[in-house]
Structure 1
């Protein structure tokens, strides 16, 4: 006869899993901070460059960065001062600006992505394990 998990068992499992997720998040934050610093970027600037996969609005970037649009604006202002991004009017609506990488921004982003791969906390996982982890985390985050 098998026993069903108790609420104490579930609470322990939840606590342990949350601890592991928090530890991994901390390792990733430290990794991003260390790697970004080697090329003169703050962690927030590095995240913005990583997420700029093409032209996008400030609102879209803020959503991808999981931050408020005002915070994304501050970060983009600093990247613009460094000559890594520029704001352009969108063809469909001249009132809307989109963020675009400059030629220098493309080069710095490529360098950043290469640095982030080196020594990544996720490096010990196989590609299949990373895909599985991605799927599980996405399900947990979306509740689906």
Structure 2
């Protein structure tokens, strides 16, 4: 059974609406949980993504933003004694971003808060895996 271009367009529009709706719910959730800890959503995102020492460029990629935006966020986190810039072990031009002990503790509190009432909590781990795979495939698809 073939579908008409019009029904395909409607289905795509509905799917885009659902993806955008989920993204908005996740953004709202992060913003609300970050505020509990006195953080902005970008600061919370940076802390969540800092799973170990990394460069500003690596953090920016994880945050899906430009390095200059990540630098602004890290500057604020550094002033709060949550992140340190250290010499990169092999690249003298780069710095490694490292969480301080206080930053690590706050990251753990943040992770616990983000897990509470997450928009994805209603999905089983298997369903989350399927959704992850489908979204990744849609994002990396060569089709236009």
Same fold flag (TM > 0.5) = yes
Mapped partners of 1:20, 1:92: distance in 2: 44
Gaps of 5+ in 2: none
CA RMSD, aligned part only?
A: 0.8
Task: Name which of 21, 26, 51 aligns with 1:28.
Answer: 26
TM-score with structure 1 setting the length: 0.96
Deviations 1:11-51 (A, max 9, x none): 01100000000000010010000000000100000000011
Cα distance, 1:9 vs structure 2: 1.0
How far 1:94 moved relative to its partner?
Answer: 2.1
How many pairs align?
142
Aligned twin of 1:62: 60
User: Please, which of 114, 117, 137 is the counterpart of residue 116 of structure 1?
Assistant: 114
What is the aligned counterpart of 2:79 among 78, 81, 90?
A: 81
